[in-house]
Amino acid sequence: MEGYMVSARKYRPMTFDSVVGQGALTTTLKKSIQTGHLAHAYLFCGPRGVGKTTCARIFAKIINCMSPTEDGEACGVCESCMAFNEQRSLNIYELDAASNNGVEEIKNLIEQTRIPPQVGKYKVFIIDEVHMLSNAAFNAFLKTLEEPPHYVIFILATTEKHKLLPTILSRCQIYDFNRMTIKDTVAHLQKVAEQEGVTAEPDALAVIAEKADGGMRDALSIFDQVTAYCDGNITYKQTIANLNVLDYDYYFKLVDYFLGGQIPEIMTTFNEIVNKGFEGNHFINGLNAHLRNLLMCRDEGTTKLLDTNDDVRQRYIEQAKKCKPQFLYRAIRKCTDCDINYKLSQNKRLLVEITLIEVAQSVQDDGASAGRRPAKILKPLFNRAAVKKSVTAAPAAVSTTAAAVSKQPTPASVPTAKEAAPAVLPPDAKFDLENLTRAVKLYSQTLPQGGVRAQLFRATPQLLNADTFEIKVDNPAIEAQMRQYLPALSEYVKKALKLPSVKVMVKVVEYNPEAVLSPAQFYAKMKEKNPALAILEKEMQLHL
């Protein structure tokens, strides 16, 4: 306590004029004091750390001041003001209902209201977090709140107005406090920094303000934390490292990569972010907020909704010019879906990677209506609609393609016309499931006739993460052979789709060892599983 005082206390405003970000409200309060129109109960609502209790104390001090200044502030030097300054005034009584919410505490408070003030005119009772009072305490309090002595003023404060009973709300004059804007917070932190003899980059203060999420008290304690760490010079780099905030440069870079369709760069950037220890959903939400900011900056009217400092705003405006609104809508929707599915996902990293690829692909989906060069329609990586269709198709309506596939003999030698592999991949083929499947098919055509070639031709590769895919085969003999071809296959796919690296795995599925048992072995196995067979065999005197 001695020597060092936390900034939130040290820089607690002492006058209405120095309260940050609540201009309209403090003006109204001042006016009502000057004109003598005082209510007997006030309710201050708003998020934490925006100045509710501070304003209540300033209010109490002014109405008790012996000679208020012309513009309605307390003089600061009279007997009452001195008592307030030295925190020994008997005219202010504070109850924190978060920790004292019982009937006893309220009865105590009511007792206090019976004693008139010795110095000054009013006794002010501040009840913080009033929504936390127990029902019994509320009931004990209601009567006094309704008809307090003429020298009593209640100031109730709450972060959760909706939890208050109508009987309380109707008895109070209600004031709604604003969240602090980033701009206001930064301006205030700048002043505090100057008084503390600390230099600070505006970007760093903006990060602090953002982290505080609209509360000045939090902003000041984060400021203290960063100041201790930064040694007199608060830089952006140090601040984001100290607060574990992801550098917004990453988001600007990623959007540029989306626009350029630079999937490999997107993947390596995301990898970098993961390596810094950021959670995938934290990152996706940050990206989503960035995209939202870009959308706001598409129009001058909404640019002001962007709560940040001027330099960063300018960067947003520049990047927004390059983004079509349709792309931003789609990207925001995809990021939102990713956020919703994140908790349920078994492979969270893959989910984020797929989302990023889809966002990059959605840049190109515009062309159709624009009527310029023919639109490149890229199918989503996992085309759910298509899968669904083929699954739910009625057996009677088996398509010719399906028939062709099912007729295909296992060691496929000659592909049917429908299944014929594409001659080449387009030069700008993207890395998606469709092109990957095509690349694998193309590669199979370079192999000698046989099981590996057939399996690869029929394969539907499965993406495991952004640079790894898996081929499923149905027997271990083929698997062993196929392993010899994997390096060549990955090299082929890497070249065809212009990827920095590709890994291929092979996995045996639906391999049924019983299928290769002799009939006698198979029967023995069946008997094991179903003893009734053995009884049947015996009863019927069968010799199987």
Binding site for Zn ion (CB under 5 A): 65, 74-75, 78, 81
Is 119 or 486 the residue whose CB approaches Zn ion more closely? 119
Q: Smallest distance from the beta carbon of 9 to Zn ion, in angstroms?
A: 22
Q: Smallest distance from the beta carbon of 8 to Zn ion, in angstroms?
A: 25
Distance CA 310, CA 302 (A): 15
If residue 151 lies in a helix (H) or strand (E), which one and from where to where? none
Q: Smallest distance from the beta carbon of 120 to Zn ion, in angstroms?
A: 9
Is 81 or 97 the residue whose CB approaches Zn ion more closely? 81
Q: Smallest distance from the beta carbon of 57 to Zn ion, in angstroms?
A: 14
For residue 344 the two structure tokens come to 């349920």
Q: Could you write out the DSSP letters of every residue in 365-414?
A: GGHHHHTSSPP--PPPSS-HHHHHHHHHS-GGG--HHHHHHHHS-SS--S
According to DSSP, residue 116 is labeled P
Is 65 or 155 the residue whose CB approaches Zn ion more closely? 65
For residue 452 the two structure tokens come to 């590996």
Is 74 or 140 the residue whose CB approaches Zn ion more closely? 74
Length of the chain: 544
Q: Smallest distance from the beta carbon of 23 to Zn ion, in angstroms?
A: 23
| 289 within 8 A of 281, measured Cβ to Cβ | no
Q: Smallest distance from the beta carbon of 91 to Zn ion, in angstroms?
A: 12
Distance CA 84, CA 91 (A): 9
For residue 474 the two structure tokens come to 């149905």
Distance CA 432, CA 380 (A): 8
Is 74 or 328 the residue whose CB approaches Zn ion more closely? 74
Is 82 or 259 the residue whose CB approaches Zn ion more closely? 82
**Beta-strand relationship, 173-176 and 152-158:** unpaired
Q: Smallest distance from the beta carbon of 76 to Zn ion, in angstroms?
A: 6
Is 51 or 68 the residue whose CB approaches Zn ion more closely? 68
Is the alpha carbon torsion for 310, 316, 319, 323 positive or negative?
Answer: negative
Is 65 or 381 the residue whose CB approaches Zn ion more closely? 65
Is 81 or 502 the residue whose CB approaches Zn ion more closely? 81
Q: Smallest distance from the beta carbon of 36 to Zn ion, in angstroms?
A: 17
For residue 522 the two structure tokens come to 């198979």
For residue 363 the two structure tokens come to 């840049």
Q: Smallest distance from the beta carbon of 65 to Zn ion, in angstroms?
A: 3
Q: Smallest distance from the beta carbon of 29 to Zn ion, in angstroms?
A: 17
| 486 within 8 A of 453, measured Cβ to Cβ | no
First to last CA, the chain: 94
104-109 contact pairs (CB < 8 A, 24+): 105/137, 106/133, 106/137, 106/140, 106/141, 107/140, 109/141
Is 66 or 246 the residue whose CB approaches Zn ion more closely? 66
Distance CA 81, CA 368 (A): 72
Is 81 or 294 the residue whose CB approaches Zn ion more closely? 81
Q: Could you write out the DSSP letters of every residue in 424-445?
A: S--TT--SSHHHHHHHHHHHHT
Cβ neighbours of residue 504 closer than 8 Å, sequence gap 6 or more: 468, 469, 470, 471, 486, 489, 490, 493
Q: Smallest distance from the beta carbon of 66 to Zn ion, in angstroms?
A: 5
Distance CA 83, CA 118 (A): 12
The SS3 assignment for 46 reads coil
Is 15 or 271 the residue whose CB approaches Zn ion more closely? 15
Q: Smallest distance from the beta carbon of 85 to Zn ion, in angstroms?
A: 9
